[in-house]
Structure 1
Amino acid sequence: MILNQFKLVFRRFFRSPLISAINLCGLALGIASAYLGLSYAWQEFSYDKSFKDAGKIYRVGVDFMNMGGFAVGPEYLPEYLDLHSNVVESFSRVSVRGKIELQDDGRKLETILVGCDSAFFSLFDFPVVQGESNALMALPDRAVISRDLALKWFGEDHVVGRELEIPVAGELRQYFISGVIDKSSTYTHLIGDLFIPVKPFLAGEASWYSAGFYTYFKLDRKEDYPVFLGELESIRRNEIFDKYAKGSGLTYDEWIKKSDAYRFIITPVTDIHLKSSLNFEMAPGGNLQKVKGLALIGLLILLVAIANYINLTTARSYIRNREIGIKKSLGVHRSQLVKQFIGESMIESAFVAILAIVFLNALLKLFSYWTGSALLLDNYLGAQYYLGCVAFTVLIGLFASAYPSIYLSAIPPQGLLKNTGSIAKGFRFRSALVVIQFAITTALLCGSMVIFSQLKFLNQKDLGFNKDGLLVFENLSSLGNSAETFRKELAANPMVSSSSFAQSLPGSTNLYQSSFMTPEMEYSIPLRVLPVDENFLRTMGIRLLEGEDFIRKEYGDSTVAIINESAKAALGLGNAIGADISNNIRVIGVVSDFHIESLKSGIQPVVLKYDPRANILVLRLKGKSDSQSRANFLKEVNELWNKFNPEFAVQYAFIDETFAGFAEQEEIMSKGILSLTLMALLIACLGLFGLTTFSLKRREKEISIRKVLGSSVGGIVSLFTREFVVLIFFSFLLAIPVAYYFSSQWLGDFAYRIELTWWIFGLGSLVAMMVAILTVGLQCLKAALQNPVKSIRNE
Structure 2
Amino acid sequence: MIRNYFKIAIRNFRNNKAYTLINVIGLTLGLACCVLVFFTVRYELSFDAHHKDIGQVYRLLRYTKERGDKGLATGIPLPVLDALKNDFPALKNQIACTYALKGTLVTVEQEGNKKKFDEDYYAIAFVGPEYFRLLNYEWIKGSPEASLTNPGSVVLSEKQAERYFGKADPMGKTIRINNQKDFVVSGLIADPPATTNFPFTTLISFSSLKDYGAYTNWDDWASSYGGGQMYVKLPQSMNQADFEKQLTGFNKKYYDAKAAAETSFILQAVNDIHFDNRTSNYAGRTISKGMIWTMVLVGSFILIAACVNFVNLATAQAIRRSREVGVRKVLGSTRFQLLRQYFSETAFITVLSVLLALIASQLALPYVASVLNIPAQGVMFISDPVVLAFMFALVVITTILAGFYPAMVLSGFQPILALKGKVKTGGSGQAHLRRSLIVLQFTISQVVLIGTVIAYNQMQYFQTMDLGFEKDEIVNITIPESDFAKMESLKSRLASETGIRSMSQSQFTPMSQSNWQTGFKYENDTEFLNFEIVMRPADTAYVHTYGMEMAAGRMYLPSDSIREYVVNEAFVKAMGMKRPQEIIGKRMAIGGSDYKFPIVGVIKNFNTYSLHREIIPCVMTTLKGNYSKMGIKLSAHSDKNLLSRIEKVWSSVYPDYLFKYTFYDETLNSYYSKEEKLFSLFRILAGIAVFIGCLGLYGVVAFMVESRTKEMGIRKAIGATAFNIFGLFSIDFVKLVVIALVIASPVAWYGMSQWLQDFTYRISISWWMFAVTGIVVIFIALITISFQSVKAALMNPVKALRSE
TM-score range, shorter chain: 0.7 to 0.9
Alignment partner of 1:686: what SS? Answer: helix
Is residue 116 of structure 1 aligned with residue 119 of structure 2? no
What corresponds to 1:348 in structure 2?
Answer: 349
What corresponds to 1:562 in structure 2?
Answer: 566
What corresponds to 1:187 in structure 2?
Answer: 195
What corresponds to 2:554 in structure 1?
Answer: 548
What corresponds to 1:533 in structure 2?
Answer: 539
Alignment partner of 2:318: what SS? Answer: helix
Q: How does 1:694-709 map to 2 (within 5 A)?
A: 694-709=703-718
- Once structures 1 and 2 are overlaid, which stretch shifts more, 727-736 or 136-145? 136-145
C-alpha distance in structure 2 between counterparts of 1:106 and 1:170, whole Å: 12
**Contact 2:500 / 2:634 at 8 angstroms: preserved in 1?**
yes
167, 170, 175: which one aligns with 2:176:
167
**Contact 2:365 / 2:376 at 8 angstroms: preserved in 1?**
no
Q: How does 1:386-405 map to 2 (within 5 A)?
A: 387=388, 390-400=391-401, 401-405=403-407
Is residue 604 of structure 1 aligned with residue 616 of structure 2? yes
444, 455, 466: which one aligns with 1:462:
466
**Contact 1:600 / 1:750 at 8 angstroms: preserved in 2?**
yes
Q: Deviations over 1:183-231 (max 9, x none)?
A: 2x44011133222222211479577556453222233438544444354
What corresponds to 2:307 in structure 1?
Answer: 306
AA aligned to 1:9 is: A
Q: How does 1:764-775 map to 2 (within 5 A)?
A: 764-775=773-784
AA aligned to 2:515 is: N
Alignment partner of 2:27: what SS? Answer: helix
Report which structure shows greater RCO (CA 8 Å, sep ≥6).
1
Alignment partner of 2:338: what SS? Answer: helix
AA aligned to 2:233 is: K
C-alpha distance in structure 2 between counterparts of 1:216 and 1:131, whole Å: 25
**Contact 2:505 / 2:539 at 8 angstroms: preserved in 1?**
yes
Q: Deviations over 1:559-589 (max 9, x none)?
A: x322223333333243325352646554322
134, 137, 151: which one aligns with 2:147:
137
**Contact 1:89 / 1:220 at 8 angstroms: preserved in 2?**
no
Q: Percent identity over the alignment?
A: 25
What corresponds to 1:16 in structure 2?
Answer: 16
- Once structures 1 and 2 are overlaid, which stretch shifts more, 500-509 or 46-55? 500-509
C-alpha distance in structure 1 between counterparts of 2:143 and 2:407, whole Å: 56
718, 722, 725: which one aligns with 1:713:
722
C-alpha distance in structure 2 between counterparts of 1:155 and 1:2, whole Å: 59
Deviation at 1:772, TM superposition (A): 0.5
Is residue 286 of structure 1 aligned with residue 287 of structure 2? yes
AA aligned to 1:264 is: F
What corresponds to 1:73 in structure 2?
Answer: 76
What corresponds to 2:96 in structure 1?
Answer: 92
Alignment partner of 1:555: what SS? Answer: coil
Deviation at 1:755, TM superposition (A): 3.4
C-alpha distance in structure 2 between counterparts of 1:603 and 1:192, whole Å: 32
C-alpha distance in structure 2 between counterparts of 1:450 and 1:169, whole Å: 45
Deviation at 1:659, TM superposition (A): 1.4
Instruction: Report the number of matched residues.
Output: 770
Alignment partner of 1:73: what SS? Answer: coil
Is residue 363 of structure 1 aligned with residue 370 of structure 2? no
C-alpha distance in structure 2 between counterparts of 1:81 and 1:582, whole Å: 30
C-alpha distance in structure 2 between counterparts of 1:479 and 1:456, whole Å: 42
Q: How does 1:636-647 map to 2 (within 5 A)?
A: 636-643=648-655, 646=656
Alignment partner of 2:610: what SS? Answer: coil
C-alpha distance in structure 2 between counterparts of 1:525 and 1:79, whole Å: 24
Q: Deviations over 1:16-45 (max 9, x none)?
A: 011111112201201111332343233223
With over 3 angstroms needed to count, the CA separation of the structure-2 counterparts of 1:527 and 1:214, relative to structure 1, is closer
Structural RMSD (CA): 3.4
C-alpha distance in structure 2 between counterparts of 1:16 and 1:524, whole Å: 75
C-alpha distance in structure 1 between counterparts of 2:395 and 2:519, whole Å: 59
With over 3 angstroms needed to count, the CA separation of the structure-2 counterparts of 1:196 and 1:554, relative to structure 1, is closer
**Contact 1:60 / 1:216 at 8 angstroms: preserved in 2?**
yes
C-alpha distance in structure 2 between counterparts of 1:438 and 1:66, whole Å: 45
Q: Deviations over 1:294-342 (max 9, x none)?
A: 3332222222112112211222222222333444455544334333332
C-alpha distance in structure 1 between counterparts of 2:93 and 2:541, whole Å: 51
With over 3 angstroms needed to count, the CA separation of the structure-2 counterparts of 1:503 and 1:776, relative to structure 1, is same
**Contact 2:224 / 2:517 at 8 angstroms: preserved in 1?**
no
What is the TM-score when the length of structure 2 is the normalising length? 0.87
Alignment partner of 1:624: what SS? Answer: coil
Unaligned segments of structure 2, at least 5 residues: 212-216, 590-595
What corresponds to 1:377 in structure 2?
Answer: 376
**Contact 2:737 / 2:778 at 8 angstroms: preserved in 1?**
yes
- Once structures 1 and 2 are overlaid, which stretch shifts more, 663-672 or 741-750? 741-750
With over 3 angstroms needed to count, the CA separation of the structure-2 counterparts of 1:581 and 1:359, relative to structure 1, is same
Q: How does 1:611-650 map to 2 (within 5 A)?
A: 611-625=623-637, 628-643=640-655, 646=656, 648-650=657-659
C-alpha distance in structure 2 between counterparts of 1:142 and 1:757, whole Å: 59
Alignment partner of 1:383: what SS? Answer: coil
What corresponds to 2:681 in structure 1?
Answer: 672
441, 459, 464: which one aligns with 1:437:
441
What is the TM-score when the length of structure 1 is the normalising length? 0.88
Alignment partner of 1:110: what SS? Answer: strand
Alignment partner of 2:203: what SS? Answer: strand
- Once structures 1 and 2 are overlaid, which stretch shifts more, 663-672 or 738-747? 738-747
C-alpha distance in structure 2 between counterparts of 1:339 and 1:322, whole Å: 18
Is residue 125 of structure 1 aligned with residue 136 of structure 2? yes
Q: Deviations over 1:745-788 (max 9, x none)?
A: 33333333333333222111111111110001111112333445
AA aligned to 2:101 is: R
Deviation at 1:680, TM superposition (A): 0.7
C-alpha distance in structure 2 between counterparts of 1:79 and 1:525, whole Å: 24
With over 3 angstroms needed to count, the CA separation of the structure-2 counterparts of 1:637 and 1:360, relative to structure 1, is farther
Q: Deviations over 1:618-643 (max 9, x none)?
A: 33332135683254145325523533
